[in-house]
Amino acid sequence: MKYFQALKLIGLILVVYLVLQFLIILEIINPYWQQILCCALIIAVSALGLNLIYGFTGQFSLGHAAFYGLGAYLSAYISKTIQSGSPLVLLLGMTSGAILSGLVAFLIGLPILRLRSDYLGIATLGFGIIVKIFFDNADALIPSLGGSRGMIGIPKLTTFAWVYFIFIIAVILLRNLVDSSIGRALVSIREDEVAAEAVGINTTKYKTIGFIIGCSYAGVAGALYAHLYSFLHPANFDFLKSIDVMLIIVLGGLGSISGTIITAIAWTFLLEGLRVVLPEAILDWRLVIYPLLLIIVMLIRPKGIFGGKEFKLLRPKLITK
Amino acid sequence: MTQLQKGVQKVQNCSRPLLAIRKLTKYFGGLKAVANFDLDLNQGELVGLIGPNGAGKTTVFNLITGMYIPTTGSIKFQGEEITGLKPHKIARLGITRTFQNIRLFPELTVLDNVRIAYHHHTQCGLFHTLFRTRTFRHEEQELTQKAKEFLAIFGLETRWNEISKNLPYGEQRRLEIARALVSEPKLLLLDEPAAGMNPFEVNQLMQLIAWIRDRFRLTILLIEHQMRVVMGICERVVVMDFGEIIAQGKPEEVQNDPKVIEAYLGKVTVAG
């Protein structure tokens, strides 16, 4: 029974992949929309990471784009230096991006995760600004990073297949983590930090673990992003981008994997879709329409679209004999 | 350590109090919350800690459980200095507590509230967790099984899948006590367990406290305002006022102590 379910899941994942790939080959999904689709899934991976940090562990972070940027710049630097079109370079880039983001998360997490809610938000925001300024001036240190002119000539290694399967792996690993004893320790910190300590949870340790894993997700997503557009600019990693990701997880419902996935995809397509749908004259109103939508969604569903609920596939199952 | 030395230490452990607090003092800025607080708790005792509002009772709890760091003084548990340890370390050593205003994990199920308290007994690291290995599944099964059995002891087994904030008040209290007992502590601190309960629930609670004490071989320190509870189950009562101990002894002795009456009711001045 258990194996049958696993097979069914693998089957579903492959069928969805083949259908999408087929549509891409037939150019029913043209290269432009393919890029948007990839971008949506990449943002979803990054947002899943932030959902682990804020939605599950309850640590308010406004510096997520900085970790996304660290992954992007490091992986781009690696593939530009190696100068090879092999997809293995992308794999290396993602791994090192994840490690760098995780390491930096560990180092800054140690002092700042002691702070609570809004104060932690301000501290992470500050960290994000520091990283952005570092990217702006990175060419002084390493000329190929491009600084405020942007980094060019990154090999386009990101394909739909890479993005799709990394996304699937990210979802499965996060689900496995959340529905486990470690995951419950993380959630207990969100629910009541004092009570968690009182029942023997080392809250400092688990906050740090949650933060590191969440930021590594951003690092992987950043690496995919860098090799999708082959161009990086510091403006893509400023604090407004952190707020975008925060918006996605709050809209989707904190602590809901399904919500994050759906909202990340819907949000990316909405922004691009409005460009197509709206007549030329009011195109600039795009950026007014989407905040309005945010307000409406929050009024109708204050706990987010999914409100902490999950699709059946992602729901935690009680493992019994 | 030789066999003999071990034996000697064992004997010493028996005669030594489970918890020994000496000259415990805590200042919040200029405010003296607890001063020169001395207390010995012997194995198996049920002691009540009473006093008017703001006397420093909960501060004492927070100091014992490591949530506050004392300004001066020492707390020894089973002969070991625990002052300055992190709360989760102290909990793992065997001191757990409940809170004045119930602190469950409100959005989680009854089962998960208990499973979280089991967490530090689990061995599986990140690798086993992320990749759902056989070891992980096995441990998770066992954990769930144990947690459900534990809930049954407290008559909460039918409620396991309920979100804990939706439980009736009395059951929330019971769940909080159950959660504190998961790790089989030696010392349990109860902060106003009867607060907000009706007389019927209070009776049930008193039975529960007496029962868990035998069942888990506990030593219990209890803060309580309802005199019925204190007088009914405590063997010894410690009275605090303005951060200091003003009286202690058997419940009936303390009840008639003029200092205690003064602390609760104010000074009686007789005219003439």
pLDDT of residue B5: 63
Whether the per-residue pLDDT at B169 is higher than 80: the answer is yes
CA dihedral B34, B40, B43, B45 (to 10 degrees): -70
Shortest alpha-carbon distance between residue B107 and chain A (Å): 7
A69-109 per-position pLDDT tens digit: 999 999 999 999 988 778 899 999 999 999 999 999 999 99
Q: What would the mean pLDDT of B72-82 be, rounded to a whole number?
A: 95
Whether the per-residue pLDDT at B266 is higher than 80: the answer is no
Q: Quickly tell me which residue has 């009686």 as its tokens.
A: B268
Q: What would the mean pLDDT of B2-15 be, rounded to a whole number?
A: 58
For residue A17, which amino acid is it?
Y
Question: Do the chains contact at A196 and B140, CB–CB below 8 Å?
Answer: no
A220-239 per-position pLDDT tens digit: 999 999 999 989 999 999 99
Top residue of B121, B129, B163 to mutate, by most chain A CBs within 10 Å, is B129
pLDDT of residue B264: 82
Whether the per-residue pLDDT at B12 is higher than 80: the answer is no
Identify the segments of chain A with pLDDT beneath 70: 1-2, 319-321
Name the residue in chain B with its Cα closest to that of A173: B130
pLDDT of residue A55: 95
Whether the per-residue pLDDT at B116 is higher than 90: the answer is yes
Residues 6+ apart with CB under 8 A from A15: none
Inter-residue contact A89 to A155 (CB < 8 Å): yes
pLDDT of residue A285: 80
Q: What percent of chain A clears pLDDT 70, i.e. is strictly above it?
A: 98
Chain B positions touching chain A (beta carbons under 8 Å): 65, 67, 86-88, 91-92, 96-97, 99, 103-108, 112, 115-120, 122, 124, 126, 129-132, 136-137, 139-141, 143-145, 179-180, 182-183
Whether the per-residue pLDDT at B272 is higher than 50: the answer is no
Residue by residue, DSSP assigns B207-267 as: HHHHHHHHHTT-EEEEE-S-HHHHHHH-SEEEEEETTEEEEEE-HHHHHT-HHHHHHHH--
Question: Do the chains contact at A184 and B97, CB–CB below 8 Å?
Answer: no
The complex's ipTM? Answer: 0.89
Top residue of A199, A254, A315 to mutate, by most chain B CBs within 10 Å, is A199
B16-51 per-position pLDDT tens digit: 899 999 999 999 998 999 999 999 999 999 999 999
Residues 6+ apart with CB under 8 A from A244: A43, A65, A267
> How far apart are the C-alpha atoms of B6 and B2, rounded to whole Å?
6
Half-sphere exposure of B150 (CA within 13 A, CB side): 27
